């Protein structure tokens, strides 16, 4: 990293031995991090338990990292006090990859949606793509998670808007159209329940539950308007 900083985008240093050569590598790192202004990289460092602490060399390196002000640089140090130099590689690799790819997967997209709508979610993936060096669009599954969460919270109108926001680019899954139909039926909104049943049937003509539900609501399951999604 300190000699060819553009060679890799991310680094995992597992209990590194940095004090050799009379600490020359530490001095080099201190100089590099004090001068670096732009560094689009991730660095994850771990230290094993060496007589109750991390080695002095690693502690000096972490001190140098703490003084850096490089834009775009992310780093994290973790002292694994329950690990030895022999046992530390496996947990370090897992934790290191989790740290480097933090934000890659949205565990709670509804939280981000409530902060800024679908654009906030799209921006999250756009910015992540820039960091990882390639173009990345919003995964359809992320949108589906938002819809599912909105339905769960009975926010049906918002769920409907999100689900049908781009029928060409992101065709709505029939099972979520079913879920909206159920939600509106439970609310007593027969008109919307019928609408989403018909939309579901367009996506999945073999949906027996929808055909039965339409019949129960007095609608003809065979009378499906064309291109209603659009």
Predicted pLDDT at 189:
97
CA dihedral angle for residue 164, residue 170, residue 173, residue 177, rounded to 10 degrees: 0
Return the axis-axis angle of helices 109-132 and 140-152, rounded to nearest 10°.
170
Domain locations in the chain as residue ranges: 10-100, 105-171, 173-230
Predicted pLDDT at 104:
83
Predicted pLDDT at 227:
52
8 A C-beta contact, residue 202 and residue 229: yes
Read off the pLDDT of each residue in 90-116 and give the average, rounded to a whole number.
Answer: 92
Most confident among 2-11, 105-114, 157-166 (mean pLDDT): 157-166
Q: What are phi and psi of 66, to 5 degrees?
A: -65, -20
Lowest-confidence region among 45-59, 121-135, 159-173 = 121-135
For the full predicted model, state whether its pTM sits above 0.85.
no
- Print burial letters for 98-111: b (CB count within 10 Å at least 16), e (below 16): ebbeeeeebeebbe
Lowest-confidence region among 22-31, 154-163, 208-217 = 22-31
pLDDT in tens, 188-202: 999 999 999 999 999
Distance, in Å, from the CA atom of 221 to the CA atom of 190, rounded to the nearest integer, reads 14
Distance, in Å, from the CA atom of 91 to the CA atom of 78, rounded to the nearest integer, reads 11
Predicted pLDDT at 230:
47
Q: Please determine, for residue 225, whether its predicted confidence score (pLDDT) is greater than 80.
A: no
Predicted pLDDT at 146:
96
Predicted pLDDT at 196:
96
Predicted pLDDT at 153:
96
Q: Please determine, for residue 5, whether its predicted confidence score (pLDDT) is greater than 90.
A: no
pLDDT in tens, 120-163: 999 999 888 777 777 888 999 999 999 999 999 999 999 999 99
Distance, in Å, from the CA atom of 144 to the CA atom of 109, rounded to the nearest integer, reads 10
């Amino acid at each position: 990293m300190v000699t060819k900083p553009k060679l890799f985008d991310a680094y995992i240093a597992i209990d590194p031995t940095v004090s050799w050569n009379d600490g020359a590598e530490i001095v080099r790192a201190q100089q590099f991090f004090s001068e670096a202004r732009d560094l689009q990289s991730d660095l994850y460092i771990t230290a094993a338990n060496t007589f109750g602490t991390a080695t002095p060399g690693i502690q000096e390196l972490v001190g140098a990292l703490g003084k850096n002000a490089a834009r775009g640089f992310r780093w994290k140090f973790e002292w694994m006090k329950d690990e030895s130099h022999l046992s530390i590689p496996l947990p370090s690799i897992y934790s290191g990859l989790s740290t480097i790819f933090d934000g890659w997967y949205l565990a709670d997209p509804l939280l981000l949606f409530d902060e800024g709508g679908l654009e906030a979610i799209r921006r999250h993936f756009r910015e992540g793509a820039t960091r990882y060096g390639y173009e990345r669009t919003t995964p359809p599954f992320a949108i589906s998670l938002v819809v599912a969460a909105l339905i769960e919270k009975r926010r049906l109108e918002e769920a409907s808007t999100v689900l049908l926001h781009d029928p060409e680019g992101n065709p709505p899954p029939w099972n979520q159209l079913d879920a909206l139909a159920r939600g509106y039926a439970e609310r007593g909104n027969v008109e919307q329940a019928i609408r989403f049943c018909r939309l579901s049937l367009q996506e999945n003509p073999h949906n027996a539950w929808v055909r039965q539900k339409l019949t129960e609501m007095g609608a003809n399951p065979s009378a499906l308007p064309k291109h209603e999604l659009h």
